[in-house]
Amino acid sequence: MNTIASQTGLSEQVPELAVADRNSFFHPFTAIRDQEQGGGLVVARARGSRITDVSGREYIDGAAGLWCVNVGYGRSEISKAIEAQSLELPYFHTFNGVSNEPGIRLSEKLLDLAPSSMRRVFYGSSGSDANDSAVKLLWNYNILRGKPEKRKIISRTYAYHGVSIAAGSLTGIPVVHQDFGLPLDFARHVSRPDLYRDAPERQCHTEEAYSAWLAEELDQMITSEGEDTVAGFVAEPVMGTGGVLPPPRGYFEAISRVLEKHDVRLVADEVITGFGRVGAWFASQLYDIKPDLILTAKGLTSGYLPMSAILVGDRIWSVMEDAARDGRVFAHGFTYSGHPTCAAAALANLAIIEREGLVGRVADMARPFHDAIEAQVGDHDLVGDIRSVGLMLGVEFVADRQTREPLPTAAKTAGRIALAARRHGALVRALPNSDVIALSPPFIITEEEISELASALRKAIEDVASELKEEGMLPA
C-alpha cells in the first residue's frame, strides 16, 4: 500500500518497461500520480528469501510478498505439482456435486490440521472472497434457523479483511472506505486491541484489564444494536495490516464469553496467521480460540497460485445439513471453487511445511528473530515499539519514545523507511494508517538473512531520521 518509489526508479532499470507499465498497468493500492512520475519496482525472479529485479538488483524479501510466500520462492516441488495437475486436469468446476481428487484430498488434509470442530471446507480464490463468503454463510445460517434479522457483523477498527464490497466493509482502515462510500450498513466496528497505543489511553494497566475493557465494549455494542440483529464477530487473531497487533492476554476468552451470551458466531480470519506464520498451524490453536468459521488464503499455497479456503465449524454446518434435507441448494460459489491445480499447489505446499517441520521452525525462530530486530533498531529514537508473534513483527515509529507521541502524518515516516530499506537491499512493508513497518519473512529465512534484513532496516531508519531532521519534522 506504499506509494511507489522514484528513488529506485523503474525508469532507471528498463526504460521501455517503465513506459509500458505507466501506460497500461492499473496497479492496486498505488498512488497513480507516483506511478506516472516513473517510480516502481519490476521484479523478475526469486529464490529462497531473495527477490531480483529486472536490473539485476537483489533484495531480501522481508515481507514474503504480501505475508504469503511462506515456504520461500523457487520450490520446484510446487511447480511440478502444478505442471502435473494441469496436464492431467487443469480445471473443472465443482458445482452440482462435481469433484476432483486434489480438491478432496486437500479438504481432508485441512480438516485434519484444523481444530477438531471444523466439519467442511469451502473454496474461493482470495482472502476477500473468503470474507464475503463468510458473511453470506452467516446470513444463510441465520435465515435457515429462523432468525433472518440477525445480519450485522461486527469487526474492529483497523482490521483488514480485504476490499470486495462485504470484506471491504468489514475492513476498518479508513482509506479502504473513504473513496467508495463504504462500509455498507451491515458492518459495525469495535476498537482494535492495541496494547501500545490504546491500552494506556483507556487507563488499562494490565493486559487482562484491557481485554475486559474491550469485551465490555463489544457487549455494549451488541446490546445497543440488539442481539437479535447481530450475526457475527470477525477478527484476525493477530491483526496484520492494522499494525501487527497481538491480542492482549485473555482477549479471546473474554470476547468469546460475550459472543456466547448473545448467540453471536465467531469468525477467525486466519488469512495471514494460518499455516504456520505464528508458530502453530492455526492461531486459533495458539490462542485456544473456538471459531465457527476459519478463513484462510495466502499461506495455503504460499502464493504460488490463488486459493482461499473456509473451514466451516460444527454449529454452522449442522444447521445447513439439517436444512438441506428438503433438497435446498446452497446458492453460492465461484467458477474457481476447489480448482484442481490450485488444490495440487496447496497440497504440495502443505507437504513441504510438514516434511521440513516449518511450523516448529517458526516457533523456534520467533525469539531470535525478534531479538535480532530489537538489537539492531530497538535503541533508535524513532522506534517506539517492537512486537511480534512467530514470524510476524511490527516496528512502530514515534516522535517521542517517552510520551509515545506519533510522528506528523505528513512525514509519511514508515512509507519512507520502506523505500529507504529498498535502497539498502530489503523489502519491508509500511502499513497504511499507522507508522508501522511489518516484517513477515518466508519461514526458511536464514540467520544471516535476518541480520541483513535487520541491518538494512537500521540504515533505512537512520536515513529517514536525518531527512526528517533536515525538514524540521523532528528536532535536530
Q: Does 65 bind ligand PLP (CB under 6 A)?
A: no
Assess contact for 222 and 214: CB atoms under 8 A.
no
CB of 411 to ligand PLP, least distance (A): 25
**Which one of 2, 85, 94, 128 is in contact with ligand PLP (CB under 6 A)?**
128
CB of 434 to ligand PLP, least distance (A): 15
Beta-sheet pairing, 429-430 with 118-124: unpaired
Assess contact for 458 and 378: CB atoms under 8 A.
no
Assess contact for 408 and 428: CB atoms under 8 A.
no
Rank residues 38 and 62 by Cβ distance to ligand PLP and give the closer one: 62
Q: Return the residue nearest ligand PLP (CB atom).
A: 127
Assess contact for 78 and 310: CB atoms under 8 A.
no
For residue 311, the Cα-to-chain-centroid distance in whole angstroms is 17
Q: Of the listed pieces 36-44, 105-113, 265-273, 335-343, which binds ligand PLP according to CB under 6 A?
A: 265-273
Q: Of the listed pieces 10-18, 121-129, 336-344, 393-401, which binds ligand PLP according to CB under 6 A?
A: 121-129
**Which one of 53, 132, 219, 236 is in contact with ligand PLP (CB under 6 A)?**
236
Q: Does 70 bind ligand PLP (CB under 6 A)?
A: no
SS3 label, residue 310 = strand
Contact string (CB under 6 A) for ligand PLP, positions 410-449, x = contact:
----------------------------------------
**Which one of 50, 161, 192, 424 is in contact with ligand PLP (CB under 6 A)?**
161
Q: Does 269 bind ligand PLP (CB under 6 A)?
A: yes
Q: How far apart are CA 414 and CA 402, in angstroms?
A: 19
CB of 75 to ligand PLP, least distance (A): 20
Rank residues 10 and 267 by Cβ distance to ligand PLP and give the closer one: 267
Q: How far apart are CA 418 and CA 87, in angstroms?
A: 41
Assess contact for 250 and 215: CB atoms under 8 A.
no
Q: How far apart are CA 195 and CA 246, in angstroms?
A: 8
- Which residue, chain included where needed, has cell 492476554? 249
CB of 346 to ligand PLP, least distance (A): 14
Q: How far apart are CA 246 and CA 269, in angstroms?
A: 14
Rank residues 213 and 252 by Cβ distance to ligand PLP and give the closer one: 252
Q: How far apart are CA 120 and CA 346, in angstroms?
A: 17
Grid cell listed for 47: 529464490
Contact string (CB under 6 A) for ligand PLP, positions 291-320, x = contact:
------x-----------------------
CB of 416 to ligand PLP, least distance (A): 22
Assess contact for 396 and 196: CB atoms under 8 A.
yes
- Which residue, chain included where needed, has cell 448473545? 262
Q: Does 271 bind ligand PLP (CB under 6 A)?
A: yes
Q: What are the φ and ψ backbone dihedral angles of 78, each rounded to 5 degrees?
A: -75, -45
CB of 156 to ligand PLP, least distance (A): 11
Contact footprint for ligand PLP (CB under 6 A):
66, 126-128, 131, 160-162, 236, 240-241, 269, 271-272, 297
